[in-house]
Structure 1
Amino acid sequence: MAKKPVTSRAGRFLKLAGMTASVAGQYAGQRARRLLGTENEEGARSESYTRMAGQIAETLGELKGAVMKVGQIASQTQDFLPREFSEALEKLQREAPPMPFEVIAEQIETELGKSLGELFEYIQDTPYASASIGQVHRARLHDGTDVIVKVQYPGVDESCDSDLKQLRLTLRLGGLLKMPKASVDQLFAEIRERLKEELDYENEARNIRLFRRFHQDQPWVRIPAVIDSHSTRRVLTLELVEGDHVSQVTPDRYDQATINLIGHRIFTLMADQLFRFQCIHGDPHAGNFAYRPDGTVILYDFGCVKKLKPEIVEAYRKALIAALNEDYEALDRHLIDLGARVEDQPAVDEAYYAMWRDILIVPFLDDQPYDFGEADIHKRVAAKTSTVFQYLNRFQPPVESLFIDRMIAGHYWMLKRLGVQAAFRPDLERYLSDHAGSP
C-alpha cells in the first residue's frame, strides 16, 4: 500500500525533525568512536556519510519541495557537501516518485475554480513528468489544443522557509557543511530567493514570455507558450511542444552533423543568455531540453531563472580571458571580484591555477573539433579534488555566480550525452571580445 503523501506543514516538520535527530545521533556516535580510536577514521567516515546520505535522500524524495530542490543543487555543487552526499542526492535529479492523481486533481480544481471536466476535454492521470516541487500531466482543452499542465504539490510553498531551516539544521548537526557560517548564510539566502521565484508559477509565466522574446530571432529555439486562462500561481498550463529526450537522440534518426549543429546551438543559447541577456536558465538538466532531427532545440521549465548583475558577468568574462591567456595574477583578482576568492587571504600559487586551467581548457585549446562524447573532464576534476583542501581557506562558494557554474556543468553533461564533436574556441573568443555576443 502506497504511503499517504505528507502535505501539511506540521507533518513535513515532524518528518524532517526525525531525519535531523537520526543524522545528528549518527554523527555524534561517529565522533565518539573516532575520539576513542576504535575505528579507521577515513573508512568509517565515508561509511557514515553514505548511510546518512541515503536517509536524507530518501526523506527529501518523499517530501519533495524545497528540501528536494536543495538536494538537487547540492548534488551539483561539490564544495557544498561531501562526495558521498553528492552521489546519493544525484538520484533526485532523475527520480521523483509521483504524487497520487487525486491530490493533483484537487489542487487543479481549487486553483482554477472549475471541475476537471469543465477545464479539459481530457487530462491524463499518469504524470507526463514529475519533479521536486510539482508534476506535469498531459491534457487537451475543449478547443482541441494539446497542452501540458504543471501542478505544484500542495503545501510546498507554505513550508518552504521551515523546510530550509530544518534541512540546514540537519546538515549542521551532521557535521556536513564544509563552509564558514557566513558563506552558508549567503548560499541558503540565494537558494531561498530562487526557490521563492520557482514556487510562483505566475513568475515562471513571466520568465517564459521573457525568454521567448530573447530567442525570437532564433527560429531553431522552441519555448512553449503560456495558456493564461488555465494558469495561476500554483498551476501552469502550456502548449504541448514535444521533442526527443537526449536518450532518444540515436544514430538512426540523428547523424553526426545534426548532433554537432545541435551542440553549437546549445553553446549559443548558453553564451547568449550569459553575455547578451545576462539572464540564464538556471536548471539545465537533460529533462529540461528536447531535440528534433531538423536541429530544433526545445527549452522547458523556467521556474529557476537567474538575472545576473552586470559586474558579475564582466568579472566572469575577464576571469575566462585571464585563464585562456594564462595570466594567473589577473585571474586571482577577477576571482576575488566574483566572490570566489577570499580577498584578505594570500594570492594562490600560479601552479595551482595552471593545473585547473589545463584540465578545464581542453575543449577550447584550438580550432580543432573536440569530442565531448569521449570527454573525461569530470574524472580529471574528481581526481584533483583532494588538492582543494590545501587552499580551502582562500576560496568560498561564489554565490553570485553559483548558477553560472551550474549552467555550464549542466551543458557539459548534455554535450557529452549527445556526443557532440565541435570546436567552440572561435565562438568563445567572439563572446569574450569587447563587443561580446553582439548579434
Structure 2
Amino acid sequence: MTVSETLARFLHATTVPDDVLHETKRLILNQLKASVGAADHPAIRILHDWATEHGGTGASVHWLGTATTPQSAAMVNGALYEVLDFHDTYIPCFMHAVSAVLPAVLALAEARRSSGADLLRALALGIEAELAVATILMPTGYYRGAVPAGLTGGVGAAAACSVLAGLDEARMVHALGIAMCTAFGLYASVGSMTLSYITGATARSGLSAFELATRGFTAPATAFEGDRGMFQAQCDEDRAKIAPALATLGREWRLFGQTYKVVPTETITHGPVECVLAVLPRAAGRTVDRMTFHVNPLVQSIADERRDRFGAPSSESEATFDLRHCAAAAWLAGYFTTAQTAPACYTDPAVLALRDRIGLIADDARATFEGCALDVRFTDGSVERHDITYFLGTPGNRVPDAMLGRLFRDYAGALPPGRADTIIDTVWTLDRLPDVRSLTDLLRIDA
C-alpha cells in the first residue's frame, strides 16, 4: 500500500485506548490554556477581522465568540493556539502537533454537533497520522527551512476530519493526498505575525482537503512517496525510514511524547528559564556579572541566529523567540508570564543590559533541548550552578492534570467568574458529552 493508503487503513480501523483518550483531553485543555490569554493580541485581531468579515455560521471563534464558518473558525483558532507560543511541542520533530489539527476538527465537530467521544477519537488519530508523517520528514524538513507543523498539520487535520465524518478509506486517501500536496510554511516567519497565520491557514487547509474529498475531488495515491511527492520535495531523509514509522501506528502512540509548556514562550527557552528561576533564590542580593548556559548545539545555533537577525527584540513575537531576553526577563522579574514579552519589558534598559551578558555554550552531550545547565557568575567572583535533565512539561517530567487546570486558570482571568472551572470540568468529561457545543459555547470571554 502507499503511505496515504496505509494511513487511511490505520484511521479507519483503529480503536483508541482509554489512556490515549485521556491524554487527548490533556492536549485540548493545554490548547485552551495557550489561547485564552491571546484574544486581544494584535495578530489575532487582524486575522479575526479579516477571516470573519463576511459572516457565516456553523462554528465559532474561541474567546471572541464570533459565529462564523468552520473554515474561518479553524483559521482564527489555529492562530490563537500559536500566537503566544504557549502550546504543545513534540520535541523529536521540532513541532507543535495539536495546533493545526484541533481547530479544524473542532470546527467541524461544532458544525456537525458531534459528540465529545467522537471528537476525542478523531483528534487522537489525526495527531498520530500527523506525527507519523513528521517522524519521516524530520529533521531535514526543518533544516531546509520549513515550519514542521506547516508541512504536516494539514495532513493531521484532514485525517481527523475524515475520521470524525466517517469517510470511507478511498476518500480518506484523497483527503490525505490533497493535504500532502498543499503543505506549506517557512520558518523565516518565526518572530513575526506570519507564524500564527501559517498555523491557522494550515488548519483551514486540512479542513478544505477533507471537504473537497467528500465531494469527489481526487489526489494522487502516491502524494507522499511518489516522484516529486511530499517526501522528495520536503526532506533529505532516507526512504528506509518510511516503513518503520508507519509500522508503529496504533502500537506506539506518539502523542504521549508531547511536551506541555508551563510558561508562555518558545520551547528552547524553557530549560533556561527554569534554571534561572532555580538559581535566583540563591543569589542573595549578589549582582550578576555573566550568565552562561550549556545547551544542545542546535539551541545555540538557533539562539545566535535569532540574535543576529532580530538584534534587540522589537515586538512581542521577537521577545518570545529570544532565549537571552527570556532568561534576563525571568531573572529580573522573578517569574515568567506574558508580561515578560510585552513592550515594557523588552525595551527595559535593565533587561537589555543583562541580556547582553548572557552566553551560550554548545554541549554535545545533550541530545535534545529537554535539559540544560546554567552558570551564574556574580561580580564578587562567586558562581552558582543549576543543571536540569528534563524541564517541567517534558515527557520525562510530566505536568500533572491538576497543574494543567491551574495553568488554565492563571491565564483565564478575563473569563466570567466560575467559567474557568466549568471549562476544565467539561474537558475532563468530554467523552460523555452528546454535543461538543457544550464545550464550545463556554469558550467566550464576554458571556
TM-score normalised by structure 2 residue count: 0.24
Structure number with higher relative contact order (C-alpha < 8 Å, ≥ 6 residues apart): 2
TM-score normalised by structure 1 residue count: 0.24
Q: Could you say which structure has the larger radius of gyration? A: 1
